[in-house]
Every structure is written in structure tokens, then in C-alpha cells.
Amino acid sequence: MSGDSRRALLARDAPIQDIASTHSPRGQAFFPAQDIQIFLYFLGKTIASVHRGDLIALSQATSMMRDRLLVNLLLAENGIQTGTINKRIGQHLNDEQMQCLQGVPAFGLSELSIREAQQKLAGDYLARARKLAEKCGATWPLELEEATKHLWHRELRMAW
């Protein structure tokens, strides 16, 4: 075991500011095109769960849309690749971004609460993503967005 490489997990003598500053891989904002397509896909996919009455699948999809895709988008706005951080994502977000996350309504296993959360997520996510696409000069998946909006309106009588 003496030949194994080791790495310090905790630096007791280092001030917290020094540790935090070494984990701030900020760069230039970028457009996470694949995540945008996945987000729109999940919005469309949730309709099948609604029709089946599968509240667990709806809740899990909504959590993933918030905890992975929205967080990834917020980090992309700051130029941070999600693979470069492990924990304490909040320290990489500004106050307005934290308010965006906190503005998503709490949801449980009721269809109404999940659909309200999804509506809020969809509105916030897509508005931010469009703005980021514009900033980065990226192509927006307009046809996919329009198809998803039409599907939500036709199947759920909902819009965002």
C-alpha cells in the first residue's frame, strides 16, 4: 500500500476562501445544445406519463429537468462545464440564478403540483436557453420547441 498514490481530501490549514477559489472553473458562456433537446424531449415524454397516471415517472422526470438540466443551463451561462464540479453547485451560481431554482414550485406525487412545476420549469428554462443561444450565436431548435408546445397544448390544454 505504500506505493499507492494518495490525495488530500481535506486541507485543515487552508482558509475556506482559498479552497473555494481553486474550484471555480469559470470560463466563457456556452450553449448546451444537447441538453436543450433532452429538455424538450422530456417535456414531450411527460405527456405519456400523464395519460398513464404514472405520477412517480412524472415526479422523477420533473426532478431531473430541474436538478440536472436547469442546473446545467445555469452553469453554462457562467461558462462552467458540469464535469468540472462535484458538489456545492450553489457557490457557482449568482443570486438571480439561485432565485430561479428556488422559484420552481415544490411538488410531490400530485399531478397538479407536478404540472405546475413543469410549467414553471419550461417557461424559465426555455427563456433562459433562448437568451443563451442568442448570446452564443447558436442555432435554436425552433421546430422541436414548436412541436413540443403544440403537443402540450393539444394533449394537456397547457402552455408555458
Residue type, 66: R
Calculate ∠ Cα 24-30-33, nearest 5°. Answer: 130
pLDDT per position as a tens digit, 29-60: 999 999 999 999 999 999 999 999 999 999 99
| pLDDT averaged over every residue in the chain | 85
H or E element at residue 12: none
pLDDT at 8: 45
Q: Give the model's pLDDT for residue 13.
A: 52
∠ CA 116-57-160 to the nearest 5 degrees?
25
Q: Which DSSP symbol is given to 141?
A: -
SS3 154: helix
Please give the model's pTM, rounded to 2 decimal places: 0.80
Please determine, for residue 67, whether its predicted confidence score (pLDDT) is greater than 50. Answer: yes
Does the structure show a pLDDT above 80 at 103?
yes
- Range from 19-28, 114-123, 149-158 carrying the lowest mean pLDDT: 19-28
For residue 17, the model assigns a pLDDT of 39
C-alpha grid cell, residue 83: 464535469
